[in-house]
Structure 1
Amino acid sequence: MTNIEIIDPFNITEDPKMPFLLQALNPLEVQQQFEHHVHSLSSQAKQIQLQAIRTIRYKPKRRCLIEYDITVQEIDGSKQAITLIGKARSRGLDRRNYSLVKSFWEQNFGKNSKDDVFVPEPMGMIESWNMWFQRKVPGIIATKLLAEPGGINLARQIARAVHKLHQAGISSHRSHTIADELQILRDRISIVAEIFPERQKRLARILDACDQLGASIPEVTPQGIHRDFYPDQIIVDGNRLYLLDMDLYCQGDPSLDIGNFIGHIIEQSLRTSGKISTLADREAALKKEFLRLSSTATRTAVESYTTLTLVRHIYLSTQFPARQPFTSSLIELCEQRLDLAGC
């Protein structure tokens, strides 16, 4: 155990809301827990050996992501290197999300998938640490690849992947309606109005226009949707796509996922190139393929959810220093999309 590398730039063991993280970074404790909770995940495993621990993401007093490098020795003598991602939170073990991912894994998003659309494999949980595990998958996030020469084909593949998720038929007791979406915007934009009181009237007009836009979106039969679908939520490994972070999965309008995805692409284009049309051909390919597959989505609904996503990005731009220079541009863009320019 003396050679185990531990990387913790956040000092998570000092968190008073998650005292169990002290054990989660203790190699002896980790080794013992993995022997009981991870060993059974490989039916041929003879031995599991911890190699390294890394804290990769942390929100104080709320949640934490930790990577564990392990080596699994099989009965036949062969060895396999695996990285597990442990997901812990202060308010208890997230059994719901673990069960959800397990359901997807078992229903054609796991090793038996024939269309190269997967979720990372759920690998067990340690209740005393409020932590569950997924196998880390290889690849590159779609954000980095959409702008590459193969970005148009990737966009079409992404549309097919999220349509597969919508058609999976995995239920959720949670729902997300257009009323919920509009309430989130009201809450977020009110914060922006407090930061920039000189923009309160413009922001109020934007919210009023969003209410009208939301009322115009036709109702559809709710389906399972990701609800936080954007390029960072997809890892690309050759022809394989891995869908990440099902934390917000719920029953809702599938058009929201595509609108949200396109809104993120537009915002990223604005922020990285100063133009909103940089990846327009990718957006068009994504939208066309999704509308071809979906029997309920309409171009108007997708455009509406794209606009609502961009309005939410007004708020997000105020929360990150690197994005703050683009708040004014986002307000102007939303006004244009809502036909408020010049008002």
Structure 2
Amino acid sequence: MLKTSPAYSHLASATNEAEMQSIFQTQLTRLWGRPVAIENFHIPRVIPRGEGKFLVQYRFSIVDEHGSQPRIFFGRLLSPADMIPAYAKESNAFFVSDIRLVVPIFPFDPKLKMLVQFFDSASGPRLLQPLAGAIGLNGTAQLAKVEVLGYRLERRGTLSVSVQERTRTVSLVAKLVRPEKAAGLFEELQALEKNGFGATSDKNIRVPHPLAVTPEGILWLEAVFDLSLHDLIGTEPYVSACRSAGFVLQRLQSAKLPNLPTFSVEEAQAQLKTLALETTQIYPVLCESIEDVWQQLESNAPAVAEKKTVPVHRDFYDKQLLVGANRITLLDTDTLSFGDPASDVGNFLAHLILRSNQHLLPEKTLAQAKKDFLEAYNSNTSLVMGKEFEKRIKWWEAATLLRLACLYSLRPRWRKLALPLLEQSEKTLRGEDYA
């Protein structure tokens, strides 16, 4: 069990599931004016924000006479220097003063202003108006059901939206982002469709079809109901789906996409160094292992010429791929950049190792999945891997394992993975295979 430094006692409290469940029950009962029963309370994600600040995701179900209703909340853990936001003492949030934790009551979000409107039936016609031309919705369309697929406080939200007209029901996805980002993301999806990710593309590799975008930051997409590659772990199609993932990545990195930002090795190092340093401060027992891995990464950082950079996803792993009977869909292309192609490969392989450490993926299956993924990725002669490229893959794989070790050390149910992932990162840098 990792012991938290006394300087981070506020983080230890904010990630104590039993303690936080009690706080949520008390605060929600006070705010809603009725007894609140909570079950299945857990903390799946903790996101460092630097200088002692964190975002903590809380998931649970509210149990009442209507059954069990899943909820997702985020808490902002403030540093001593942070000002308490004005909304913290209003009816749409609560503040735990002794640990400086602010919890907005979902769907209120201080920066994603449109989120709350999706849970107000009166707002339906106005929200749906941009879809009139895209899919022919008429004035009778109403929001019938809204479910949360993903959410990050003040950053983004992904909603499954069921729309009811007189004669039909339409399923859609609404992606909420900061308004200044929405138009660019819409254009990127359109560009991907023209570069091998459209509905009729070879091997049925695609992205969700973009339908409309609004100035308020709503990106309307087609709904894709296929299972993720992660959901397929333990099933017969899993290994062949990993092969398909190799073709997807090959296609992405061969696409002709203009005007992407650059993501350099130096930028990746800077981000990882900040995360690693804070993790050593939170858990002093990890300090030696993290420093050993970091020093090796720093001394062996690859040099990548600009002419060798390609479009990279920057978060390519099993939950970013939806696998259907005759198609595979790439998700979350928000961070597309020009970068080292080995970065996406290393990230995917590191997540295979993570799944094995989570006891989801047997070593034999991991080995076959890795083999098939790399064979498919390497089937395009323009991206043939040589020894230098394989060395860069190892570096990115080890860097991702260090990042995962730091992030999972913050998650109550997965803290035990931190040391095994650090050990595997060191082995990867020595050129040893996990499987």
**Matched residue, 2:375:** 288
Secondary structure (helix, strand or coil) at the match of 2:308 reads coil
The alignment's TM-score, normalised by the length of structure 1, stands at: 0.85
1:121 aligned residue (209, 215, 234) = 209
Q: Residue 257 in 1 paired to residue 257 in 2?
A: no
Q: Residue 174 in 1 paired to residue 268 in 2?
A: no
RMSD of aligned Cα (Å): 2.7
Shift of 1:276: 5.7
Q: Residue 247 in 1 paired to residue 334 in 2?
A: yes
Q: Give the Cα–Cα distance (whole angstroms) in 2 for the partners of residues 302 and 8 of structure 1.
A: 39
Farther off after superposition, 258-267 or 278-287:
278-287
Residues 154/19 of structure 1: CA separation in 2 closer, same or farther (3 Å cut): closer
**Matched residue, 1:328:** 419
Q: Residue 102 in 1 paired to residue 190 in 2?
A: yes
Residues 43/53 of structure 1: CA separation in 2 closer, same or farther (3 Å cut): closer
Q: Is the 8 A contact 1:313 1:330 kept in 2?
A: yes
Shift of 1:161: 1.3
Q: Give the Cα–Cα distance (whole angstroms) in 2 for the partners of residues 163 and 270 of structure 1.
A: 27
2:143 aligned residue (34, 50, 66) = 50
**Matched residue, 1:268:** 355
Farther off after superposition, 17-26 or 317-326:
17-26
Q: Deviations over 1:297-316 (max 9, x none)?
A: 43322222212211111112
Q: Residue 111 in 1 paired to residue 205 in 2?
A: no
Which amino acid is 1:9 matched to?
R
Which amino acid is 1:319 matched to?
L
Shift of 1:85: 1.6
Q: Is the 8 A contact 2:398 2:425 kept in 1?
A: yes
Secondary structure (helix, strand or coil) at the match of 1:16 reads coil
> When the two structures are aligned, how many residues end up with a matched partner?
328
Shift of 1:43: 5.4
Q: Deviations over 1:17-59 (max 9, x none)?
A: 334333232222222331x200100259796443222233333
Which amino acid is 1:335 matched to?
E
Q: Deviations over 1:106-141 (max 9, x none)?
A: 44322232321010111112323x211111102110
The 5-angstrom pairing of residues 1-343 of structure 1 reads 9-10=71-72, 11-34=105-128, 36-42=129-135, 48-71=141-164, 81-90=169-178, 92-128=180-216, 130-215=217-302, 221-272=308-359, 278-296=365-383, 297=385, 298-339=389-430
Segments of 5+ residues of structure 1 without an aligned counterpart are: 1-6, 74-78
Q: Give the Cα–Cα distance (whole angstroms) in 2 for the partners of residues 310 and 178 of structure 1.
A: 16
Secondary structure (helix, strand or coil) at the match of 1:9 reads strand
Q: Is the 8 A contact 1:18 1:61 kept in 2?
A: yes
**Matched residue, 1:76:** none
Residues 292/33 of structure 1: CA separation in 2 closer, same or farther (3 Å cut): closer
Q: Give the Cα–Cα distance (whole angstroms) in 2 for the partners of residues 288 and 300 of structure 1.
A: 17
Moved over 4 A (4+): 43-47, 90-93, 216-220, 273-278
Which amino acid is 2:198 matched to?
G
Q: Give the Cα–Cα distance (whole angstroms) in 2 for the partners of residues 284 and 111 of structure 1.
A: 28
Q: Give the Cα–Cα distance (whole angstroms) in 2 for the partners of residues 252 and 217 of structure 1.
A: 8
Residues 323/177 of structure 1: CA separation in 2 closer, same or farther (3 Å cut): same
Which amino acid is 2:147 matched to?
R
Residues 220/320 of structure 1: CA separation in 2 closer, same or farther (3 Å cut): farther
Q: Is the 8 A contact 1:139 1:236 kept in 2?
A: yes
Q: Give the Cα–Cα distance (whole angstroms) in 1 for the partners of residues 286 and 137 of structure 2.
A: 63
Residues 84/229 of structure 1: CA separation in 2 closer, same or farther (3 Å cut): same
Segments of 5+ residues of structure 2 without an aligned counterpart are: 1-68, 73-104
Secondary structure (helix, strand or coil) at the match of 1:134 reads strand
Q: Is the 8 A contact 1:55 1:66 kept in 2?
A: yes
Q: Give the Cα–Cα distance (whole angstroms) in 1 for the partners of residues 114 and 348 of structure 2.
A: 36
Q: Is the 8 A contact 1:48 1:72 kept in 2?
A: yes
Q: Give the Cα–Cα distance (whole angstroms) in 2 for the partners of residues 166 and 199 of structure 1.
A: 36
Farther off after superposition, 284-293 or 131-140:
284-293
Residues 103/216 of structure 1: CA separation in 2 closer, same or farther (3 Å cut): closer
